[in-house]
Amino acid sequence: MLQLEYSGKLTVMPHIVDAPRPMAHAIASFDGVEDVYYSALDFWVQADYLRQWSQAIQRMRGRPPVVVIVKSLHPIHTAGFCEAYVGWKRNAKYLFQDRILDVPASFERTPDSPWHELAGEYSAVSSDGDPIIDQWSVNAEDE
């Protein structure tokens, strides 16, 4: 089962380009295996992330080939990317990986946008040829 939640903790993190940035502490659980991360709050607020997560999980119920859960969206003027969990359907499971997705300037950056279109193909190795170790599986039938 896939679960996503905010812990309620907020923090401010230093940033190379911008002033310190507000961040929300979040926890993802992939069939009981937890991953902790921070969501940037200078472009989206927590409600935006929650809406996008809910839509992605709802999308999983239709068993699409790929889903994207946006972890942290960065302002377009400083970074053309987002951090995301990308899940590819493989038989009765979704294999999720922690990915950095390039977000074109022309892409509408809303929770309702088709984030799955940015996912690309599944690979067990990085572009450098190293094995991807941040990978979790979730039974598709559980969602």
| 2-142, CATH topology level | Secreted effector protein pipB2 fold (3.30.2450)
- pLDDT for 34: 92
| 55-71 pLDDT tens trace | 999 998 888 999 999 99
Q: Which whole-number Å values give the CA distances from 127 to 99, 121, 123, in the listed order?
A: 12, 12, 9
CA distance 98 to 133: 9
- pLDDT for 10: 83
Show me where the domains of the chain are located. 2-142
| 27-62 pLDDT tens trace | 999 988 999 999 989 889 999 999 999 999 999 888
